[in-house]
Amino acid sequence: MFSINTLTSHVLCHMPLYITRMRTNHFGMADSGWPGCAKSLKGVILDLCGVLYDSGEGDGVAIPGSIEAVKKLKESDLQLRFCTNETQATREKFVAKLRRLGFDISVSEVFPPAPAAIAVLKERGLRPHLLVHDGLLPEFDGVDKTNPNCVIVGDAAENFSYQNLNEAFRVLIGLEKPVLFSLGQGRYYKETDGLKLDVGVYMKALEYACDLKAEVIGKPSPTFFRSVLNDMGLKPHEVLMIGDDLLNDVGGAQHCGMKGVQVRTGKYRNCISAELGSFEAS
Amino acid sequence: MFSINTLTSHVLCHMPLYITRMRTNHFGMADSGWPGCAKSLKGVILDLCGVLYDSGEGDGVAIPGSIEAVKKLKESDLQLRFCTNETQATREKFVAKLRRLGFDISVSEVFPPAPAAIAVLKERGLRPHLLVHDGLLPEFDGVDKTNPNCVIVGDAAENFSYQNLNEAFRVLIGLEKPVLFSLGQGRYYKETDGLKLDVGVYMKALEYACDLKAEVIGKPSPTFFRSVLNDMGLKPHEVLMIGDDLLNDVGGAQHCGMKGVQVRTGKYRNCISAELGSFEAS
């Protein structure tokens, strides 16, 4: 299995060889531009679920070698951030879980969509109706939710009942100018007991019901990636994004000018990635 | 309110005048071809929910004048059929409800998607996983559902839980060649207590999750309309379709060569139809 740990070793120990190999043999998608990256790599952004751990019952489980990989990256000269579309818990609770799993990660290093969404609400004077996981609600404690003039949909999981989706639909269809924010647009993710539908599926459902286009906050939104780059003080070509999702992690990063690599853990499925191109461990 | 009753009176009592008015003043969508229809109209297909009745608690309620309209049409020389995307009950139970509401309708006159779907399953040797309303399950009693190799989604309403949608997703994503049938593709419908999300919304959700295109059985599928025309022994240009849904009733019928008229009951909303054109009562 090609994991974050094998990839980290490649990046840190055999950079020139690794870059050459990816360019010539294994990684079709990121072909052009890799020589530039080899000279200038200054930071790494890691996806979390599917790269460092698999979610599921309780805290989920760390992917073998991933705790060590984070440790090695932190000991290197590279800057490190964690970019996630996790919206089932507040940032604090989410980081506490990661620390219980054994990762040396702090709140300020982690970028999830909810705080970015709250900034957008403030900027545009919007009051949300929330269709999100119970665990995320405290994040919106200070936000005015009376007489809502937009809807925010997150990975609500069991809260995606017919009644709740219908309620969000009725708010949207009742607005003169309906605004739908989606905290990510993932199709599905992997938990320890199997694949689970992600927020993007319900975003599409509401888009179709109301004949509108949602505004995505989170990966693969370039605005979202740029806020992380801004925090690192680095330029896109200086940063490598590593994730298990070809569209939201790898594609989103590439669209933003960064390099993107897909690991073969998490939601990675051979039949899909084979068509689109993914990194092949040598 | 422009209802089935006012429309029926127009059609039956003032056909030449009515046709002329629609063509010249009021009905942009069906402009070309109406003179031909005026000479040759031999049959009418009616949508049910939103045209004859509003669904809701218990049996729902008949729309004022609609019982009389059906009576008048039956007494005329026109052939009459009922074409519905109703999938919350078996055809027998559905017709029994309509009869309790006061309509003179028999099972053989009503065309819902489920029997058409069962015919397709037999033809192609498919075994379905069902994501449908409990009330529809008996319709599939004789169908082999072991080791499913396709998914059928209907208007499952409260059965559209996260767990059930996830289960349907897992069946599809596990198939080598995933096949998804959707019994209709409606966005929403009106019940007595408000608008409700329809099957199309969940069809879109599964399409996005699995990156596939569903096969729609029911309106606006031309195959579905043709099966009704076939039963009437009429050609498309001889038949008028009346519904409250611009895309699935009016658009579907027009796509098939029939004439289509939208009533201003049911899910009709002024702001949407104003853009697309709808019949204006004089």
- Asked if pLDDT for residue B266 goes beyond 60, the answer is yes
Do the domain assignments include residue B141?
A: yes
Q: Which of B161, B170, B194 lies nearest to residue A162, judging by beta carbons?
A: B161
A124 phi/psi in degrees, rounded to 5: -105, 10
Region of residue A170 (left: phi > 0; alpha: psi -120 to 50; beta: else): alpha
Mean pLDDT of A141-161: 98
User: pTM value?
Assistant: 0.80
- How far CA A133 is from CA of A157, A159, A175, A199, B160, in Å, comes to 7, 6, 23, 11, 17
Scan residues 221-250 of B and list those with Cβ closer than 8 Å to A: none
- Asked if pLDDT for residue B32 goes beyond 80, the answer is no
Task: Give the distance, in angstroms, between the CA of residue B79 and the centroid of all CA atoms in the same chain.
Answer: 18
Tell me the per-residue pLDDT of B217-260, one tens digit each, with 9 for 90 and over.
Answer: 999 999 999 999 999 999 999 999 999 988 899 999 999 999 99
Q: Which helix or strand (DSSP H or E) is residue A230 part of? A: helix A222-232
Tell me the per-residue pLDDT of A193-246, one tens digit each, with 9 for 90 and over.
Answer: 889 999 999 999 999 999 999 999 999 999 999 999 999 999 999 999 999 888
d(CA A11, CA A77): 12
Q: Residue A141's domain spans which residues?
A: 114-216
Tell me the per-residue pLDDT of A250-265, one tens digit each, with 9 for 90 and over.
Answer: 999 999 999 999 988 8
Confidence of residue B28 (pLDDT cuts 50, 70, 90): very low
Do the domain assignments include residue B157?
A: yes
Tokens (6 digits) for B142:
């004789």
pLDDT of A96 reads 97
- Asked if pLDDT for residue B4 goes beyond 60, the answer is yes
pLDDT of B29 reads 39
Tell me the per-residue pLDDT of A20-65, one tens digit each, with 9 for 90 and over.
Answer: 333 332 333 343 444 444 568 999 999 999 999 998 888 999 999 9
- A176 touches B at CB < 8 Å: no
The highest-confidence range among A3-12, B207-216, B237-246, by mean pLDDT, is: B207-216
- Asked if pLDDT for residue A163 goes beyond 70, the answer is yes
- Asked if pLDDT for residue B38 goes beyond 80, the answer is no
Do the domain assignments include residue B18?
A: no
Confidence of residue B264 (pLDDT cuts 50, 70, 90): confident
pLDDT of A31 reads 39
- Asked if pLDDT for residue B268 goes beyond 90, the answer is no
Q: Tokens 């959700």 map to which residue? A: B205
Do the domain assignments include residue B49?
A: no
Confidence of residue B177 (pLDDT cuts 50, 70, 90): very high
CB atoms within 10 A of CB A24: 10
Whether residues B162 and A166 touch (CB distance < 8 A) is answered with no
Do the domain assignments include residue A34?
A: no
Residues of A within 8 A of B204 (CB-CB) are: 204-205, 207-208
Whether residues B204 and A200 touch (CB distance < 8 A) is answered with no
Task: Give the distance, in angstroms, between the CA of residue B146 and the centroid of all CA atoms in the same chain.
Answer: 29
- B270 touches A at CB < 8 Å: no
3-state secondary structure of A199: helix
CATH code, domain with B203:
3.40.50.1000
- Beta strand A150-153 with A128-131: parallel, antiparallel or unpaired? parallel
Residues of A within 8 A of B190 (CB-CB) are: none
Do the domain assignments include residue B161?
A: yes
Q: Which of A170, A209, A211 lies nearest to residue B194, judging by beta carbons?
A: A170
d(CA B88, CA B85): 9
DSSP assignment of B156-185 equals: -GGG--HHHHHHHHHHHHTSSS--EEES--
- Which residue out of B134, B151, B153, B162 would a mutagenesis test of the A interface target, given it has the greatest number of A Cβ atoms within 10 Å? B162
Tokens (6 digits) for B272:
């949407």
The reply to whether omega before A220 is within 30° of 0 (cis) is yes
pLDDT of A12 reads 65
- A268 touches B at CB < 8 Å: no
Mean pLDDT of B93-114: 97
pLDDT of B218 reads 95
B27, B282 Cβ separation under 8 angstroms:
no
d(CA A39, CA A238): 9
Do the domain assignments include residue A130?
A: yes
User: How many domains is chain B partitioned into structurally?
Assistant: 1
Nearest-Cα residue of chain A relative to residue B201: A205
Tokens (6 digits) for A257:
């000018």
Nearest to A98 by CA among A62, A149, A136: A62
pLDDT of A38 reads 54
Tokens (6 digits) for B34:
């109406």
Whether residues B159 and A160 touch (CB distance < 8 A) is answered with no
Residues 6 or more apart in contact with residue A122 via CB below 8 angstroms: none
d(CA A233, CA A231): 5
Q: How far is B185 from chain A (nearest CA, A)?
A: 10
Q: Which of A200, A201, A209 lies nearest to residue B197, judging by beta carbons?
A: A209
Do the domain assignments include residue B281?
A: no
Mean pLDDT of A118-147: 97
